[in-house]
Amino acid sequence: MAIFNKNSEGKDETKKAEAKKDVAVVKNKKAVKPKGDTAGYNLTKEPGRIIKTPRITEKALQMTTSGTYVFEVAMDATKRDIVTAVQALYKITPRKVNIVRRGPRAYVARFRNRRGTKVGVKKAYVFLKKGDKIDLA
């Protein structure tokens, strides 16, 4: 009948076991302390490695008028990583983030009959609140 025993030692042991699990998860995740003024952000990479560059195309420039910005991001970046990187780099909290992944594709070069692959890209559409802006210049 040890299951129904309300022994305080058992509770302490379970708390210690849970604490050990939390420490193990942090060790396996390999959290990186980013350089600069990003204290308080929970990032697995530096913000500059999560957000590579802003994507400047005709469509992306039209979307900036409605408060949507497009960035090329790392292939292993998650939505939470992108939100924290935008907060760290631009000091703005996004309202919503959408991710689009275009994988690599094979092609045949014209007139040479050589085969190649175009590298894939991952894009993040960052939606801001009304009145918020990001200066990309």
Segments in the chain below pLDDT 70: 1-44
Please give the pLDDT value at position 110: 79
The residues, ordered by sequence, that sit 6+ positions from 45 with a Cβ below 8 Å of its Cβ are: 32, 34, 74, 77, 81
pLDDT score of 4 = 58
The predicted pLDDT at position 27 comes to 44
Q: What phi and psi values does residue 84 have, to the nearest 5 degrees? A: -70, -35
Q: Residue-wise over 66-88: b if at least 16 C-beta within 10 A, else e?
A: ebbbbbebbeebeeebbbbbbbb
d(CA 95, CA 27): 31
Is residue 134 a part of any domain in this protein?
no
The answer to whether the pTM exceeds 0.85 is: no
pLDDT, position 26: 42
Report if residue 106 sits inside a domain. yes
Domain span at 110: 8-127
In a domain, 57, yes or no: yes
